[in-house]
Structure 1
Amino acid sequence: MREIHWQNPFCGGDGGNTCIQVGFAADGTPVLRETARPNESLTTTREGLRNFVEAAKRGELDHLV
């Protein structure tokens, strides 16, 4: 598997049981994973990640939680 440079995890208020990490592969591809499942990941594009973050900021994903 290619090397991924992971950022510090973003954890919920449940004592760290729901942590999400964002990382970037050597070619710049954004990768997401749950720290509880480090061998499973999701890749996207920078534009896809940007659109997701911006939608979350606008509250468009609130119905999912």
Structure 2
Amino acid sequence: MTTVHWEEPFCGEGNSCYRIGMDGDGNSYIAVAGQETAYLTDSGEALRQLIRDIKAGKADHLLAD
């Protein structure tokens, strides 16, 4: 099993808290804080771009009920 080194949670407005991590092979991970066993993994650059797009409002449709 891969060992992921998680950073401290990042909490935005409301209850959205996320953690970003990295393993020894350089893969990056993102998970909802407290649920680190259910994560997305990709290259570091791909996850950085995802975060940039979310911050730019390009993923607001994912938050709609």
Q: Shorter-chain TM-score: which interval?
A: 0.7 to 0.9
TM-score (norm 2): 0.72
For structure 2, the residue ranges without an aligned partner over 5 or more in a row are: none
**Residue in 1 aligned with 2:28?**
30
Cα distance in 2 between the residues matched to 1:18 and 1:54: 16
Aligned to 2:2: 2
Q: Encode CA deviations 1:11-35: one digit per residue, 9 max, x unaligned.
A: 2444xx5421100011110011122
Q: Which runs of 5+ in 1 are unaligned?
A: none
Deviations 1:15-60 (A, max 9, x none): xx54211000111100111223232221111221122122123211
How many residues align structurally? 63
The residue number in structure 2 matching 1:49 is 47
Alignment identity in percent? 35
Return the alpha-carbon distance in structure 2 between the equivalents of residues 32 and 46 of structure 1. 10
> What's 1:11 paired with?
11
Runs of 4+ in 1 over 3 A off after TM superposition: none
Tell me the amino acid that sits aligned with residue 5 of structure 1: H
Report the TM-score when normalising by structure 1.
Answer: 0.72
What residue identity is the alignment partner of 1:6? W
Backbone CA RMSD of aligned residues: 1.9
Distance in 2 (alpha carbons) for counterparts of 1:18 and 1:57: 13
